[in-house]
Amino acid sequence: MAGQPIFILKEGSKRTRGRDAQSNNIMAAKAVAEAVRTTLGPKGMDKMLVDSMGDVVITNDGATILKEMDIEHPAAKMVVEVAKTQDEEVGDGTTSAAVVAGELLKKAEDLIEQEIHPTIIASGYRLAAEKAVEVLNSLAMTVEMSDRNLLISIAETAMTGKGAESSKKLLSKIAVDAVTSVVDTTDGKNSVERDNINVVKKVGGRVEDSELIRGMIIDKERIHPNMPQKIKDAKIILLNTAIELKDTEVDAEISITSPDQLQSFLDQEEQMLKRIVQKVIGSGANVVFCQKGIEDLAQHYLAKAGIFAVRRVKKSDMEKLARATGGNLITNLDEVTPEDLGYAGLVEEKKVGGDNMTFVTGCNNPKAVTILLRGGTEHVVDSVTSALEDALRVVAVAIEDEKLVAGGGSPEVEVALRLQEYAATLEGREQLAVKAYAEALEVIPRTLAENAGLDPIDMLMELRSQHEKGIKTAGLDVFEGKVVDMWKNFVVEPLRVKTQVINAATESAVMILRIDDIIASTRTAGPEDMGGMGGMPPGMGGMGGMPPGMM
Ligand SMILES: Nc1ncnc2c1ncn2[C@@H]1O[C@H](COP(=O)(O)OP(=O)(O)OP(=O)(O)O)[C@@H](O)[C@H]1O
Ligand SMILES: [Mg+2]
């Protein structure tokens, strides 16, 4: 047997084991965290991401950056997942989650060097996370849906430092009004259906021209200039079918031998179309939203009947219209009943940024609202949209949970302090892991200070000393460079954002730590995968696809 090599892996497979595997993974995960670190906080910078098609995205949002970066390394991908999960669960805190995950791994690396086994670190981290969530819960304050100003502060905190900076006051109000109008309360529990809030982007004008519409906006104009521009007490028919003559399905040839015959043929067609239009009119509707086409002649008849009609409405808009107006989508005009019609107080065509749009307001269902977002260029509108998206999510989460904590690094410093005390009660090496966890959380206030050009060491010392004195909401005023009471500064965030950061970052750090063997089979493509970080399995090389200068 001796000397006989045994192959258990496919030819070309690469295997990295033990310490190498760990440090390899940790290095990659840290690199990801490092890549988004500079965007954290009100003074964080933005990133410009250019994809292979040359499309440009300018963003500050952790999840978006990591998604666009097209990361290859498997462990690095796990950190990307943390940000993604954070985004799905609460919509904010994605940068924090990635940064904390990276820092947890960095601290773990130090411990591994001190010969502490990764499983001990993992269990220490788990204990610490449990305790951290406990402390966060104890810090939480209650917010009620009726406290509009507090909700506005939550929205403002989420939008600070994002593209919407200059108009964040207005947008925060819009976000709060939008969310509060779609809240559903059953058995004393609030829930927010995000889909009830539509966001319509329109380039042109200024961000300050954005507004909340109680109803729907369809980015289409009425099809005939002779139609009324405004219909009050709108009875709306939602058509899934076209108002035109169907082409015959069999190949038929009609031979016409005289002009009279031609005329009668055309007359007949006209009659048929008239009958279809008659059915629409007969339904009692005065507004038509049609997902398909409406023939010219039919347009003329509809206009003559004083009906407001829009054609080629997007399917998703049709569904939203159905929900908002309480109407049913009609596929067969012969079966329309008055109950199928939807209702809106007003349907009106208005000019927005040079284009005509149809506004449907005073709907049957008051829970349908639309935010009309304006902005000078497409990039402005996009970045305002993503900031607003964060605001909508945090306000919704705050209303659902009714729990808040102060921001600006204050919860992280408080939790770190409590964890240090907790560590002292533990025995053995887990104590070191819990301590490391506490230190790792301080990456948030430290980074907030660094990104604001402040001295991170001074700031952390001041923060710790205030927390030791019992000021639990002491955080960093990054604009003044001082430690202040964040609660009084109206920097507040939903509790769930913070607990989710703890849970998601811990889980992924632990998962990465527990890996001590990487077996990667060769992939066929990807020359850029080669020559990455030395000695790494294929596909693990560097951060393929990242624009230069992103680290
Ligand atoms: N006015 C402020 N003063 C001090 N800190 C603030 C202020 N506004 C927000 N913060 C802090 O900034 C941090 C959030 O920064 P940022 O929004 O850039 O990242 P994130 O929420 O972790 O991720 P993302 O928003 O990209 O999903 C939080 O710790 C928050 O408390
Ligand atoms: Mg944020």
Q: Which pLDDT value is given to residue 530?
A: 40
Q: Provide the b/e sequence for 451-479 (b: ≥16 CB within 10 Å).
A: bbebebeebbebbbebbeeebbbbbbbbe
Separation of 96 CA from ligand 1 center, angstroms? 8
Which listed ligand is nearest to 160 at the C-alpha?
Answer: 1
Is 194 in a helix, a strand, or coil? helix
Which residue among 36, 37, 40 is best mutated to probe the pocket of ligand 1, counting the most ligand atoms within 8 A of its Cβ?
A: 40
CB-CB contact of 232 with 345 (8 Å): yes
According to DSSP, the β-strands at 308-310 and 287-290 are parallel
Q: Which pLDDT value is given to residue 222?
A: 95
Q: Which pLDDT value is given to residue 528?
A: 43
Ligand 1 contacts CB of residue 42 (under 6 A)? yes
Residue of 39, 64, 95, 180 marked catalytic: 95
Neighbours of 92 (CB within 10 A): 29
Ligand 1 contacts CB of residue 460 (under 6 A)? no
Rg for the chain, CA atoms, rounded: 30
Strand pairing partners for 218? 358
Mark whether 325 is an active-site residue: no
Q: Which whole-number Å values give the CA distances from 19 to 116, 124, 125, 433, 461, in the listed order?
A: 12, 19, 19, 18, 34
Ligand 1 contacts CB of residue 157 (under 6 A)? yes
Separation of 35 CA from ligand 1 center, angstroms? 16
What atom of ligand 1 comes closest to residue 40's alpha carbon? 18
**pLDDT by position in tens, the chain (length 551):** 567 878 777 777 888 888 888 888 898 999 999 999 999 999 988 888 888 888 888 888 888 888 888 888 888 999 999 999 999 999 999 999 999 999 999 999 999 999 999 999 999 999 999 999 999 999 999 999 899 999 999 999 999 988 777 889 999 999 999 999 999 999 989 999 888 899 999 998 899 999 999 999 999 999 999 999 999 999 999 999 999 887 656 677 778 888 888 888 888 888 888 999 999 999 999 999 999 999 999 999 999 999 999 999 999 999 999 999 999 999 988 889 999 999 999 999 999 988 999 999 999 888 889 999 999 999 899 889 989 999 999 999 999 999 999 999 999 999 999 999 999 999 888 999 999 999 999 999 999 999 999 999 999 999 999 999 999 999 999 999 999 999 999 999 999 999 999 999 999 999 999 888 888 887 654 444 443 344 444 444 444 444 444 44
Separation of 478 CA from ligand 2 center, angstroms? 15
CB-CB contact of 138 with 418 (8 Å): no
Mark whether 94 is an active-site residue: yes
Ligand 1 contacts CB of residue 156 (under 6 A)? no
Ligand 1 contacts CB of residue 89 (under 6 A)? no
With left for phi above 0 and alpha for psi between -120 and 50, is residue 483 left, alpha or beta? beta
Q: Which pLDDT value is given to residue 159?
A: 93
Mark whether 61 is an active-site residue: yes
CB-CB contact of 197 with 179 (8 Å): yes
Ligand 1 contacts CB of residue 102 (under 6 A)? no
Which listed ligand is nearest to 101 at the C-alpha?
Answer: 1
With left for phi above 0 and alpha for psi between -120 and 50, is residue 420 left, alpha or beta? alpha
**Lookup result for tokens 């840290």:** 30
Strand pairing partners for 315? none
Copy the structure tokens of residue 158.
């989420």
Ligand 1 contacts CB of residue 375 (under 6 A)? no
C-alpha span between 514 and 431 (Å, rounded): 19
Residue whose CA lies nearest to ligand 1 atom number 21: 93
Ligand 1 contacts CB of residue 40 (under 6 A)? yes
Separation of 551 CA from ligand 2 center, angstroms? 20
Residue whose CA lies nearest to ligand 1 atom number 26: 61
Annotate 344-390 with DSSP letters as a single string. Answer: EEEEEEEEETTEEEEEEEEES-TT-EEEEEEESSHHHHHHHHHHHHH
Q: Which pLDDT value is given to residue 533?
A: 42
Q: Note the Cα 371 to chain centre separation in Å.
A: 15
Neighbours of 193 (CB within 10 A): 11
Helices 259-282 and 296-304 cross at an angle (nearest 10°) of 50
Neighbours of 180 (CB within 10 A): 18
